[in-house]
Chains A and B, each alone.
Chain A
Amino acid sequence: MEVVGICGSDVHYLVDGRIGPFVVEKPMVIGHEASGTVLELGRNVKHLKEGDHVAIEPGSGCRRCKYCKTGRYNLCPDMRFCATPPIDGNLARYYVHDADFCFKLPSHVSVEEGALLEPLSCGVRACKRGGVTIGSTVLILGAGPIGLTSLLAAKAFGASRIVIADFNESRLELAERFGANCTIQVCPDDEENDVIEHVYEAFDNKQPSVSIECSGAEMGIRIAILVTKTGGKAVLLGMGKTEINLPLGSALFREVDIKGVFRYVNDYPTSLDMVATGKVDVLPLITHQFPLEETLEAFETARTGAGNAIKVLIRPNTDSSSNC
């Protein structure tokens, strides 16, 4: 294993021992945003060879159910996903994985970028669910790692105007570097209607055609529904409370579709292509790197957000050094 990034969900399992119905009941290896170097191949593996650097898509389905066969393996009820209990993750020096879920990195794509294909794929999936394309106007709520990868993906997909909102000024600065046309700094006591007004100003008094909600907060979800233009899509990536008070009438009356996103499916090739062709530069997301021996410190940094942490990487391979 080369590089493993820390995700908010990894931190959540550490702090709460569970996410919804997934409970850590027995010891579980953590980590799922990863890249590695191929050391050995199973007999049937044809498309990889020893020495290849790969990005590792962490979840494989059963391959036999109707979800797997109809191209929605992310919804497989028997999905085995790294570091979602009870399945072990891949923060280890060595790890085995289904070869078809390992994507060979071209020589100019680093192993750090390879690990970042995981969160990037979430942003890619959100944009596909929202139908983001040339001419789309996109509002992104939340500028954490997922909001930022959604921003990168939206730009790559051709959105003509992207506005991103968050509480945190330094995250919004990074968002600007990533190409957000406008940023909105939200204050904790802002009312829904204040934020909505800022959104309309940022879009020149028009409503965005797609909103991508990346915070999971009820207010973010409500705003996503209320501001999206009639006939548009509110893509809800962030997961928050199980029960949310929604302005449903606004969505129904105006045919604003509400679409959730569960991880990604067949999106790693797209993400890899975006990075490999230079359409997207994910490296600025990386703020901290730790050797495997300092994993606890790495998690503490990710958990507290110390030092304006965005993406914290852990390096299990003592022989390799960072390129970035």
Chain B
Amino acid sequence: MAPLPTDNLTAVLYGINDLRLEQRPIPKPNDDQVLLQMEVVGICGSDVHYLVHGRIGPFVVEKPMVIGHEASGTVVGVGKNVKHLKPGDRVAIEPGEGCRKCNYCKEGRYNLCLEMSFCATPPVDGNLSRYYVHAADFCFKLPDNVSLEEGALLEPLSVGVHACKRGGVTTGSVVLVLGAGPIGLVTLLSAKAFGASKVIITDIVENRLETAKKLGADHTLLIQPNDKEEVIIKRIIDALGCEPTVSMDCSGAETSVRVAIQATRSGGVAVLIGMGKSEMTLPLASALIREVDIRGVFRYVNDYPTALDLVATGKVNVKPLITHNYKMEDTLKAFDTSRTGAGNAIKVLIHANPNRKL
């Protein structure tokens, strides 16, 4: 029998700008969990935010917390009740587990569970480590044609998927996506996959729009920081030839949210994915009098299977989002790249399995 592993290098956030790599004991799975050898962990803007600010809204890093939540791994051990996975299976890991007992969980909206346990949202540890245990039913087996990198990307992709479902994006939808960062890009990919006939994407950074074009955007619009709202809206409608039926803000910026509300066709939906200021002054009458619904998005719910299907069937190609790959030992550098956006960084991946070649 092979010797038991002992190296469980783990990335732990101790406080603002204080991220350390240290050894932690290898956890044991309970009856409903699997033990995973972690493979790929992507860095999210929220991970960077916790590093730089030590908090996001009411979630404060008060004690050391393992970072990372966009991940894939290989099963190495299974709990007694686990039937659908076996050692050797490669999986995508949906990072949040609800309590399973409350009304939200039972009514199919576990993302809103008040006792949600979500990787790397304080005080719950994340999964940037060599080994990690997770609820087996939140681990999704990857078919042979889906890589571990793509498995990790199912997390941001699921945000785009959930947003499209919230917006009712379907065949014939005309979609405006505001912001071409990773979330704007997965929203674009999802919208096209859901059948949108036209997608226009905006951003203030030109090379992000170039990536968006490669990912299938029908139109891109470069916005100058001082552009007036009315001008932006007119340019969007001119480019599309009509008002969008669904607008999806992926920036959190007040101007973008305002544009989303005003540009959307009567009876349409403004989906607000980006989180910005908690208080915003909005042109509400425009939304009310035209019945433009305003719908927020909190993470995703029952969307991993959809996201996996989109990737496995080739409807969505997430690989162009990956710009940087680092070994786990270089985690601090990885975070720095992500934080600064150096080298036109979009999705920075960290590889936690030392035996797997990059």
Contacts and interface: CB of A to CB of B under 8 A. Distances in A.
A93 to B, nearest CB: 32
A259 B288 CA distance: 7
Interface in A225-258: 230-231, 236, 239-258
A64 to B, nearest CB: 16
Which of B281, B284, B287 gathers most chain A CB within 10 Å?
A: B284
Contacts of A252: 272, 275, 296-298
Contacts of A72: 266-267, 291
B282 interface: yes
B57 A249 contact: yes
B283 A231 contact: no
A257 B293 contact: yes
A251 B288 contact: no
A291 interface: no
B98 to A, nearest CB: 12
A306 B275 CA distance: 47
Which of A231, A245, A251, A252 gathers most chain B CB within 10 Å?
A: A252
B32 to A, nearest CB: 26
Interface string B276-291: 0111111111111111
A167 interface: no
A324 B262 CA distance: 46
A261 B296 contact: no
Which of A20, A74, A245, A248 gathers most chain B CB within 10 Å?
A: A248
Interface residues of A, number: 34
A221 B279 CA distance: 13
Contacts of A243: 281-285
A262 B267 CA distance: 10
Contacts of B284: 221, 236, 241-244, 246, 260
Given A67-B266, A255-B112, A245 B279 contact: yes
Contacts of B114: 230
Interface string A63-93: 0000100001011010000000000000000
B296 A255 contact: yes
Contacts of B287: 258, 260
B280 A20 contact: no
B327 to A, nearest CB: 35
Interface string B294-332: 111110000000000000000000000000000000000
B283 A247 contact: no
Given A252-B275, A260-B290, A262-B288, A75 B282 contact: no
A236 to B, nearest CB: 5
A255 B295 contact: yes
B220 to A, nearest CB: 25
Interface string B72-104: 000000000000000000000000000000001
Contacts of B292: 260
Contact of B277 (A249, A257, A261): A249
B267 A75 contact: yes
A249 to B, nearest CB: 3
Main secondary structure of the interface of B (DSSP, over half): mixed
B257 interface: yes
Contacts of A250: 278
Interface string B242-271: 000000000000000100000000110000
A255 B298 contact: yes
Nearest to A230: B112
Contacts of A262: 288-291
A71 to B, nearest CB: 10
Interface string B47-69: 00000000001000000000000
B228 interface: no
A257 B295 contact: yes
Contacts of B234: none
B333 interface: no
A33 B142 CA distance: 61
Contact of A261 (B272, B291, B297): B291
Contacts of B235: none
Nearest to A260: B288
Contacts of B280: 245-246, 248
B129 to A, nearest CB: 28
Given A236-B284, A253-B296, A75 B291 contact: yes
A258 B294 contact: yes
A242 B286 contact: yes
A75 B266 contact: yes
Given A230-B104, A255-B295, A248 B289 contact: no
B94 to A, nearest CB: 18
A293 B284 CA distance: 39
11 contacts: A245-B279, A245-B281, A246-B280, A248-B282, A248-B296, A250-B278, A252-B272, A257-B295, A259-B294, A260-B291, A262-B290
Given A240-B285, A244-B281, A245-B280, 8 more contacts: A75-B290, A242-B283, A248-B278, A252-B298, A253-B275, A255-B112, A258-B295, A260-B284
Interface of A: 20, 67, 72, 74-75, 77, 221, 230-231, 236, 239-262
> Which 5 residue pairs are nearest across A and B when measured between Cβ atoms?
A260-B288, A252-B296, A249-B278, A258-B294, A244-B284
